Amino acid sequence: MLKLAEVERQLGVSRWTLYEWLKDGRIQGVKLPCGHYRVPASELEKFTRNPNKSGNENDGRTQTQ
């Protein structure tokens, strides 16, 4: 189980982005009784192998061309 700081560093995202991803299910984590989150290493590996499978293909942003 990885702390959010470790996951943030490996993915290159902010804590708030990671909280949003946890909230909407893009990445799976476990909320501890104290309120902190942990992400299984296997979940991080799965996310980094194919981030679009986790729901990133449409993150709500519009793209300009």
The full set of domains in the chain, from first to last, is 2-52 (1.10.1660.10)
Confidence of residue 61 (pLDDT cuts 50, 70, 90): very low
**pLDDT(55) > 80:** no
- What does the pLDDT average to over 19-48? 93
**Can you give the pTM of this predicted structure?**
0.70
Q: With beta carbons less than 8 A apart as the criterion, state whether 24 and 55 touch.
A: yes
Give dist(CA 28, CA 11) in Å, integer: 14
Confidence of residue 57 (pLDDT cuts 50, 70, 90): very low
The alpha-carbon radius of gyration of the chain (Å, integer) is: 12
Give dist(CA 55, CA 26) in Å, integer: 5
Quick one: pLDDT at residue 65?
44
Percent of the chain at pLDDT > 90 equals: 69
